[in-house]
Amino acid sequence: MPTELTLALQPQTRLDLINVTAHIQAVQPDFLQRYRQALYYSYHTTAGYPEQRLCERLGYRREALEAFFRTFQRLFPPGAGYCHDRLELRQELSETARQHEPRNADAHLTYIGAGLLPAACYRHAPNHPVYLVDLDGVYEGHVRARQTTVVGFNRIERLATRRLTVPMPSHRIASVNLRDHHLGFFETLAQWLQQFDLQHGRLDLLLPAEEQHAALTVNEYETLLMRHDLAEVLRNPFRFMAETGRHALQNPRAVPGKALNYAKYDLVRLVNEFIDRLRLNESVVERVLNKFLSLPAARFLRMKRGLHLLVAPDAGGRPTIRQGRYQSPILIQWERPPRNTRTIEVRLYRFD
């Protein structure tokens, strides 16, 4: 039978890679020996898991993974004029909440752009750590409390597959909150789950091959973040880097186009530093970073065409989709589809 562990984690710095396997070994030393695989789930929108494939390419080295995410942080520096960080415009916040709300749009955009996931399945390998990557672990001296669930299993079985249609806005660049009650997407999934005999499992949301110019992520669906900041990134991935680039600051009279060229130059220099510091083969870096300067935003930003969600029993023992308070699966597009709808393929798996 699968085993579920829920761990409390505490980051030490704003960007922190927390070795979750070390915490597992501290509470259940035989867990990694009893199970060949595990699903790791983060309940946060600025802390998630990289794919195991990325970790393999970087040799599971902490310094390599940290350098990789710092590369994306250069694209989305703090304080770069994000709408999400203009707290006076955030109508959902009370005056009291505005006093404590973090200005962390850069962390949300790095999470999305670098392809972090709320859930990742790892095959256990001796001496290879699994890291929770926290992009906003410490804010103005406040250390965040993080929580992650790990479900160990030895076998996975696909139970069912279905397709659901999602209506899309008429805008070329748009995002849809799949957790929105008016859409009914999650309510349909919840009812569907009740038809199956399972405790722990995985729900995959996938974009079929015909769905082009689109991606899936899980994050906070805050209007200014999604409809303004993310839209700006899809129009121009260098947008916020250009605003605060070192060269642009040295040339305050630089026109926007010139600032953009400085940003591109800075990114090339940063990628070269990444290669030199980690002694990586350039072809590996090209695959990992998706050819930063020559590919469209979809590939450039490592955005995903599929994601995992954790299925686990609720208090009554019924299968349910586990999610954090602010987490929403989000469907993003940067070109209009032939019709004003998109299709998501849903696959349900059971862990044994």
Give me 56's structure tokens: 């393999």
Give me 304's structure tokens: 């995903």
pLDDT at 256: 46
Q: Is the pLDDT of residue 296 over 90?
A: no
What is residue 293's DSSP assignment? T
Q: Which residues have a Cβ under 8 Å from the Cβ of 126 and sit 6 or more positions away?
A: none
Identify the CATH number of the domain defined by range 3-351. 2.60.120.460
Tell me the β-bridge partners of 331. Answer: 176, 216
Mean pLDDT of 270-286: 55
Give the separation between CA 46 and CA 296, rounded to whole angstroms.
24
Cα 127 → chain centroid: 25
Mean pLDDT of 28-49: 96
Mean pLDDT of 30-59: 95
pLDDT at 235: 83
Q: Is the pLDDT of residue 272 over 70?
A: no
Q: Is the pLDDT of residue 289 over 90?
A: no
The crossing angle, in degrees rounded to 10, of helices 105-113 and 62-75 is 120
Q: Which span out of 119-128, 229-238, 284-293, 342-351 was modeled with the highest average pLDDT?
A: 342-351
The structure tokens 């299993």 sit at 153
Q: How large a percentage of the chain has pLDDT more than 90?
A: 67
Name the residue among 277, 38, 300, 20 with its Cα closest to residue 134.
20
Give the separation between CA 118 and CA 41, rounded to whole angstroms.
6
Q: Give how far Cα 67 sits from Cα of 62, 73, 79, 112, 271, Å.
A: 9, 10, 21, 17, 9
Give the separation between CA 47 and CA 317, rounded to whole angstroms.
28
Residue-wise pLDDT for 13-23, tens only, equals 999 999 999 99
pLDDT at 94: 87
Q: What are the two backbone dihedrals, phi and then psi, of residue 309, each rounded to the nearest 5 degrees?
A: -125, 145
Name the residue among 14, 31, 159, 2 with its Cα closest to residue 73.
14
Q: Is the pLDDT of residue 268 over 60?
A: no
Q: Is the pLDDT of residue 247 over 50?
A: no
Q: Is the pLDDT of residue 265 over 50?
A: no
pLDDT at 252: 42
Tell me the β-bridge partners of 322. Answer: 310
Residue-wise pLDDT for 96-119, tens only, equals 888 888 999 999 999 999 999 999
pLDDT at 263: 47
Residue-wise pLDDT for 68-100, tens only, equals 899 889 889 999 999 999 999 888 888 888 888
Q: How large a percentage of the chain has pLDDT more than 70?
A: 83
Tell me the β-bridge partners of 346. Answer: 162, 205
Amino acid at site 77: P
With cut-offs at 50, 70 and 90, classify the pLDDT of residue 250: very low
Name the residue among 233, 212, 230 with its Cα closest to residue 222.
230
pLDDT at 209: 95
Lowest mean pLDDT among 47-56, 78-87, 296-305: 296-305
pLDDT at 295: 44
pLDDT at 279: 57
Q: Is the pLDDT of residue 322 over 80?
A: yes
Mean pLDDT for the chain? 86
Give the separation between CA 345 and CA 323, rounded to whole angstroms.
20
pTM for the full predicted model:
0.87
Name the residue among 315, 317, 308 with its Cα closest to residue 197.
317
Residue-wise pLDDT for 169-209, tens only, equals 999 999 999 999 999 999 999 999 999 999 999 999 999 99
Q: Is the pLDDT of residue 164 over 50?
A: yes
Give the separation between CA 195 and CA 207, rounded to whole angstroms.
24
What are the respective helix, strand and coil percentages of the chain, to the nearest 5?
A: 35, 30, 40
Name the residue among 148, 137, 205 with its Cα closest to residue 176.
205
Give me 181's structure tokens: 């009650």
When computed from its CA atoms, the radius of gyration of the chain, rounded to whole angstroms, is 20
With cut-offs at 50, 70 and 90, classify the pLDDT of residue 276: low
Mean pLDDT of 49-73: 92
Lowest mean pLDDT among 25-39, 68-82, 310-324: 68-82
pLDDT at 291: 45
pLDDT at 238: 76
Give the separation between CA 212 and CA 305, rounded to whole angstroms.
9
Which segments within the chain are labelled E, that is strand? Answer: 3-9, 16-19, 37-42, 47-48, 119-123, 131-134, 138-139, 142-143, 146-153, 156-167, 174-177, 201-206, 214-219, 306-313, 319-322, 328-333, 341-351
What is residue 27's three-state secondary structure?
A: helix
Give the separation between CA 330 and CA 217, rounded to whole angstroms.
5
pLDDT at 71: 84
Give the separation between CA 274 and CA 286, rounded to whole angstroms.
11
